[in-house]
Chains A and B, each alone.
Chain A
Amino acid sequence: MSRRIFLKKSSCLTLGILAYPAFSNALFFDAMDDVIIGHNSHKYKVNLNWGNLDPLKTPVKDCHEMVQDSKGRIVLLTNHTKNNVIIYDKSGKLLETWGTNYPGAHGLTLLKENGEDFLLITDYERHQIIKTTLDGKVIFELDYPADTGKYNSKEEFKPTETTVLENGDFYVADGYGNQYITHYNHKGQLLNIFGGRGTEDEHFLNAHGICFDNRDKENPCLLITAREMNILKRFSLDGKYLSSINVPGALICRPVIHKNDIYFAVLKSKEAPNDDSGFLLIMNKDNEVVSCPGATAPSYREQQLEDLYQTVRLFKHPHDVCIDDDENLYVAQWNSGQTYPIKLIRV
């Protein structure tokens, strides 16, 4: 090692660490070239290297959904049956993998029972919802709701998402099937079914995501995406339609509530020249769109949100977003050329 390099390296370890944060923005113009996406309160830098693994050892197909568990680990669900579940730490280091029999692994929801974490996985190829422990032990498998009379065969049931209430009740959205929302108690016994395919308020086209919204403790409700219609619909817990929030141009995948905001991956822009035209979308506590990383800045004219669309070719088909305890985001993508998730650092 030459003296000059040695000097540089050792100085980084000592003086540099102290000096860097204070002077970096003032002194270095190259900081301007970092991509910063998003608007208003929610802006992010982009780390494409996060979580990249050896595709021969730990491959992914579509990265469908991600959650953070109680230990702070990032859990990814992919439909690659070599390792359906990939668990990372927040730095992107691989911790663990499991799962080889979830060919249609799609929806991933974390639930807690008596201090222990569990996962609810929806598999649209197995036509099932599967509850597992965090290390992959199966607790139960739930088949299609035959007793409701809404399904002729299991093939019509292609569940995409679940959400869990505080009492353990859970709901399943059949976003690739007959578009019903089914409500179960914690044991998996059917309590209610509503929705179905159609264009009326109480119906869905592509009921892709569902989320329990208890931000207003007095009036908890369900948020359900009608992805093909670019609408987020609010329903009461007993399945009555309440209201619609239009997001023109945005094929929103599933709502994810973090603190007072709702985050969405947007699979694609409705009218885009390129199919891989996705972005992210963030709503505030009043369900107003405040930031669209990778897309046009949200703007309202006469209280109507203007058409949103991708502006830079960063995201391919974002399918889910996970927000960690540092307010950073992880973006799982569908049909993106088997890429690993992208991490966004809040700035």
Chain B
Amino acid sequence: MTQTLSATNGVPGDVNPLRAGVASSRITDPCNVIFFGASGDLVKRMLMPAMYNLRLEDILPAKYGILGFSRCEWQTAEFRDGMRKSIDEFSRSGAAKDPLWSDFAKRLSFVNGSFDDAQAFKQLRLQLEKNDAELGTGGNRLYYLSTPPSLFGTIIDQLDEAGLGPRDNKSGWTRIIIEKPFGTDLASARALQAEVNKVFDEKAVYRIDHYLGKEPVQDIMALRFANVIFEPLWNRRYIESVQITATETVGVEERGGYYDNAGALRDMIQNHVMNLLALVAMEPPVSPTADNIRDEKFKVLSALRPMDRSRIMLDTARGQYGAGALGGKPVPGYREEPNVNPKSNTETYAAVKLLIDNWRWADVPFFLRSGKRMARKNSEIAIRFKGIPHRLFGEAGDSIDNNVLVMKIQPEEGVSLRFSAKVPGPKMHIRAVSMDFNYGTGFGVVSAPAYERLIGDAMRGDATLFTRWDAVQQAWEQVMPILETWQSTTDETFPNYAAGSQGPASSDRMLAADGAEWRKI
């Protein structure tokens, strides 16, 4: 870049000399953020509080506008009131206060209309042009589709029809955030992608999976690629198996209607858990840029051995919780939950064994599991190393356990390493010890909650923590044989695990076939 020098001072004229050492986390590009489904729960509980907190952290650009679009018959004043109540109730920083609230509120506006109403989209266009003129938002637009997936295609078509797509935006950038799930199976995902792709180039599409915005997920890369001691062991020569766990104690709560059509495989394994697998198994990226990281994630997903239908009974396990107890209190079974079919065949637990056919991971089983109403909320990745090649120490009764490295994601965040040590004394007794590392998070330098981080990243144009289409497609291809088999067969054993337990026995048997067992949740 050519720099112009200030005539009198010899300081490069296109560099602000005051910025040296004074990095700003403020987003530089002015922009409008448009929430479709603005009266919905996600906007109220998560997205608007996230926007307000970005303002409180002084991360929003100096010039910004926020538009809500929904079928709700609100006017802008009612939208502002509603959003203030949401912030008061759900923001991590407490109730909104003046003068910052008033300053924020005057940038909020609302367009009411149906998602297939061309007139409403014309209204949206007028409001965006007004914002550009009055708020200086520079033509930059970030659309956030916080609606049921069935409406994504309609909204995208209407945006294009109204001249609100990237093709027609000559003055700034146009990006779109799409909430998961991205499709309900491979065919619907492809159809949706075709709709999206008609209007938006892949680089403008930000598929959000809030799980990826969590700090410990990002720590996986730091542990692997900021240390020299792990990477030489990170392969089939030293690793026996990998277990990825994402369990919850909660049931389906208010989401029975959605969940009964989704299930654990679609809701968790196809996206969250597959993403964790990609991060733990990928090759080192050339650089930490979005595309280099996403290239490596795609490569490892495309090396997954396709699921052989004849092995689905052996390499997968499904479960559904029955009544049980959690924290000493009885909880109902899945089929007794609101909006759930009393004869439901939907799995609330899924376990899958996957193999990666490449030089690094050949024959190393990756065991993935996710379930609701389990004994404990626990997300972790456990790397189990191979046993020692020759036993040199230890009395006959001593067991020499394999080394295990655990990356803890939630609720604890940290790393734990199990290794063997000599018990003090005259004899050579060996026992396993655990070395744990947890950063506390109580104060000071803490990372923003996932939605704040991800919305901020999308406004900056940083797609690192968003999922690219090729990875989404690959993950669907992997789970489709399982999904189809499970959908076409009824599991007569359901419910097959009690709420508050470790999961179904069939899942234990799946691992036992490999001489393995699940880590206790």
Real binding pair: no
Which residues on A are within 8 Å of B, measured CB to CB? Answer: none
